[in-house]
Structure 1
């Protein structure tokens, strides 16, 4: 099968019949070499791609390139160098084919690789980007966002013209100077030393990073510096008359306060499971998720999100079976969902450094590795990273509540023996499984859990008590009366 040696997915059949897409484009050999510049820039600024020269993009017939002559082919090969700045990394190859006239011919494939930390422009100072099967010139705000994504420009390093040192939390600044052993230095000097303040035309200006980290009223400057927590009842988000949101809280603070506020609030929403250790006869409390995993996920979202995306915020969604942490912006630079466990890169290095100095952030990516190891230690699935819509990063932690229920059932059978278990009806088994993860339960609690009447529950409790499986705690009319496993 005839195919590219550099990109084996490009078979001859693929290049002829597959619609042009984000990663390849067809051109005739009649095209001017200079006219390839926008396409080269577009592929390099996106995720790379291949220009296939010698196939008619209208009729899909193979016309080949030999008729263009050696000089024209050499100009095609040199187009990335001659018509773009800086020259993107590229390779070329020829494929032997039979053209539409039945003659031996060749296709020229020019492979353009993605530029990681540079914007590739044409010699005319134009910047292009490949979006789907289109090559689009990028200008204005779109160009600035592209510069942010390539880290040729950092939003955190740009200065804000409005904020002054008086708009920052003085307590946090004092704490920061103490951490740096710099209490004796002026605040402005400390901020400049950390790249959080710059002198522009003789005037000191705070950077976006400084305001995001320390602002007294973050809403005045960056209303998107927010963590929103939404808790749903069930495993899906519903809307309209079936809306199932049970908690919805927005937290709007500067970054150094946001981490603590988000941690304190979300910790109150996470559940704990109490299980009886049959070997020791004692109860153990098992958290829904390992604390480090969910907290590190939130800290990473706050530190590495794209703050230039106005109007978007970090969304933490809690379902019965999982916790999702969604952060604005794609993964930074060379990091992908496949290599995130081992690849280190900071979109906002100055913000990251300050949070590291405050003790919130571990060495880059060491925290991600521990998220994996802590989830494994809790017998939970690996964390899942994804990029929904290519405009956000989402971390999903699954609590495996189904498996916990299975384990609770197995534990209940182990406590009483299979012979007795087989004598019980479904409701009695449900009661025992529920009681197996709690120290004690009330009759009313069991009614709510099982949706059964008072008389039905009392009948089952009496039967279980007569079998010697459970015991009563306190007098029947005592408001604190409860039941527990023997």
Structure 2
């Protein structure tokens, strides 16, 4: 295994490392069987990094480097973990060294995987904050399988009058686009979507005109407009009652995108000369909303939520990221939680997921083309949140100078609006840094509340 010589600053950062959802430190004396529980917890959650050979120091903020004298001393740990996790494709081992400290730190990178990962004793754990929780009931194990995408709620059966599906607008639009053509009942039977007087959840979502009748709180999108840029929101900022969008999943996606665009067009922002409508790339909104609807966890009785603010759009989808997908690899990997939904909706005319697997990549590219910052993706306890901010690419200094290449002067208020900076003082500091480099000067003809900045006059 490789030995990596790390710098003094990296060693200090390692000793200052705060244990959390993605990082853990352990003393070299830890029992391999206990360590395998932590590996199980990481692999069943979002993955993470383990550093073995660091002793926690309760009396000081800095932990103690207490590494292995030789690499062979770590053999028992490595052998037990490799035996417990026989394929080992989610484990990577390396040693870290630094001239100022004695011994080697064993660094174990644990990747998130789609399978359930057990400890050496056969027990199952999951990471929670800076610790681990044992999965001890069948219900908890079933929930973990749903979270990881091993099983999908889209395959659950629902009692329904099959004729309502055969006569729906959705199935008629769908069936005319399928090659070869087929009768609705025959096609759905062949696809294992219907059986007797039952239909799978995927079929309800795709082929009934009113899915909320059968799947309440699981098949709608709620859109809320908050008249604020603040992160601290309450009902007092709601512009009106939340809008609920309901339809078969094909129309649910398209209608949600159109409603969101319509609300955004009503938001005005101070432009170069007058109030202008805020513009988000339609492709970004479409792809993020499509992702939120198609890849959500339908076992959770919550609607997809779209929250529209003065300076951002938040799209929150119930359920954690499926399979081996993490926030860091989401643009480079795929793991469909609802493969039947993804496959069949792609057979509709003008499918919302036309370029399967390219959705979020398309959203990121669209934001960059408008010189807007990339979407922010966060995995929460029971949902995935995507934030599309109306903030320009580049440093505040670059944005200010670009503005002044087309305009005579700029105010603090305008500068905050185009850079996304909230504090008036922070924005003033940007001006002062530019002034120090002779790139900006205050307009001597305007003082106090009317003060502006401009490029230096020769």
TM range (shorter): 0.5 to 0.7
Shift of 1:396: 0.7
Shift of 1:78: 0.9
Q: Using the alignment, how far apart are the partners of 1:178 and 1:93 within structure 2? A: 56
1:482 is matched with none
Find 2:376's aligned residue among 375, 385, 388: 385
1:153 is matched with 151
1:252 is matched with 246
Shift of 1:382: 3.5
Query: Which aligned pairs between 1:157-306 and structure 2 lie closer than 5 A?
Result: 158-163=155-160, 165-166=162-163, 168=165, 170-181=168-179, 183-185=181-183, 187-197=184-194, 205-222=198-215, 223-236=217-230, 242-246=236-240, 248-271=242-265, 288-306=279-297
1:297–1:395 Cα contact (<8 Å) kept: no
- Please tell me whether residue 348 in structure 1 is matched to residue 348 in structure 2: no
Q: Secondary structure at the match of 1:122?
A: coil
TM-score calculated relative to the size of structure 1: 0.64
Q: In 2 relative to 1, CA 110–218 (structure 1 residues): closer, same or farther, beyond 3 Å? A: same
Shift of 1:240: 6.5
2:40–2:124 Cα contact (<8 Å) kept: yes
Find 1:327's aligned residue among 303, 317, 324: 317
Q: In 2 relative to 1, CA 83–6 (structure 1 residues): closer, same or farther, beyond 3 Å? A: farther
Q: Secondary structure at the match of 1:299?
A: helix
Greater length-normalized contact order (CA 8 Å, ≥ 6 residues apart) = 2
- Please tell me whether residue 76 in structure 1 is matched to residue 77 in structure 2: yes
1:92–1:111 Cα contact (<8 Å) kept: yes
Query: Which aligned pairs between 1:398-409 and structure 2 lie closer than 5 A?
Result: 398=390
Q: Structure 1 stretch 104-113 or stretch 252-261: which is displaced more?
A: 104-113
Q: In 2 relative to 1, CA 7–85 (structure 1 residues): closer, same or farther, beyond 3 Å? A: farther
Find 1:366's aligned residue among 332, 351, 358: 358
Q: Using the alignment, how far apart are the partners of 2:325 and 2:65 within structure 1? A: 38
1:42–1:127 Cα contact (<8 Å) kept: yes
Could you list the runs of 5+ residues in structure 1 that have no partner in the other structure?
Answer: 99-103, 274-284, 422-486
Could you list the runs of 5+ residues in structure 2 that have no partner in the other structure?
Answer: 269-275, 393-398, 410-458
Q: Using the alignment, how far apart are the partners of 2:188 and 2:39 within structure 1? A: 41
1:150-171 CA distances to partner (integer Å, 9 max, x unpaired)?
3322232x32243453453623
Q: In 2 relative to 1, CA 85–254 (structure 1 residues): closer, same or farther, beyond 3 Å? A: farther
Q: In 2 relative to 1, CA 161–360 (structure 1 residues): closer, same or farther, beyond 3 Å? A: closer
Q: In 2 relative to 1, CA 38–407 (structure 1 residues): closer, same or farther, beyond 3 Å? A: closer
Shift of 1:30: 6.8
Quick check: which has more Rg, 1 or 2? 1
Q: Using the alignment, how far apart are the partners of 2:19 and 2:307 within structure 1? A: 38
2:126 is matched with 129
1:454 is matched with none
Count of residue correspondences: 389
Q: Using the alignment, how far apart are the partners of 1:313 and 1:302 within structure 2? A: 9
1:44–1:112 Cα contact (<8 Å) kept: no
2:48 is matched with 48
1:237–1:244 Cα contact (<8 Å) kept: no
2:33 is matched with 34
1:60-97 CA distances to partner (integer Å, 9 max, x unpaired)?
66776679x97x85432211233346545434456679
Q: Secondary structure at the match of 2:346?
A: helix
1:237-270 CA distances to partner (integer Å, 9 max, x unpaired)?
7766843423521123331331243244334434
Q: Using the alignment, how far apart are the partners of 1:329 and 1:250 within structure 2? A: 20
Shift of 1:227: 1.0
Shift of 1:216: 4.1
RMSD: 4.8
Q: Using the alignment, how far apart are the partners of 2:8 and 2:193 within structure 1? A: 47
